[in-house]
Amino acid sequence: MLPVPPLLAGVLPAGLPRGTVAVLSGARSLTLGMVAAVTAAGGNAAIVGQPDTGLLAAAEMGADLSRLAVIPDPGNDPVEVATVLMDGMDLVVLGLGGRCVPPARTRVVLARARHRGCALLISGGDWQGAALRLDARVSGYELAGSAGRRARSGFGRIGAVRLEVRARQGAVGRTRAG
């Protein structure tokens, strides 16, 4: 099992199973939280095909950037790049950028993920046969340094973002706000 951020503890109490393919949608901070949890625990992760990934945000979430490989432009075949990275990573995040992956290829990649014990997180598209689907939506904000004082609308700096996460494994769904 791979560690998950505290927000997902209620949805995935045991963690993220190795060899799992999961589709993530909505707020990208969930993806960075997953990367942070895995690398902070000593695992290795890679982010493929997401050139605008906020590494500062990942570091602020606790990610060990020395354990993170970033391939912002994987060329014409990001799926192949992600598949090769599975050999040495615990977690690979793949940005599809709207690309469609044929079902025959998704089965081959899933088999490799299972064989190598690497979790594959898909964003920016769908993946047929994914065991888990997570959707994160912003449910509110907390102002930095407000210390319980009521903030005036339109003033202040965002200190934290609250997310609501919906998870679906097969036909079972769970919701967690945090």
CATH of the domain at 118: 3.40.50.300
Residue 176 domain-assigned (yes or no): no
Residue 58 domain-assigned (yes or no): yes
pTM for the model stands at 0.86
Residue 155 domain-assigned (yes or no): no
Residue pLDDT tens, the chain, 178 long = 999 998 888 888 999 999 999 999 988 889 999 999 999 999 999 999 999 999 999 999 999 999 999 999 999 999 999 999 999 999 999 999 988 899 999 999 999 999 999 999 999 999 998 999 999 888 887 777 665 555 566 666 777 778 888 888 864 444 444 4
Residues of the domain holding 23: 6-132
Structural domains counted in the chain = 1
Residue 144 domain-assigned (yes or no): no
Residue 145 domain-assigned (yes or no): no
Alpha helices (H) along the chain = 29-40, 55-60, 78-85, 103-116
Burial of 143 (0-12, 13-18, 19+ CB in 10 A): middle
Residue 60 domain-assigned (yes or no): yes
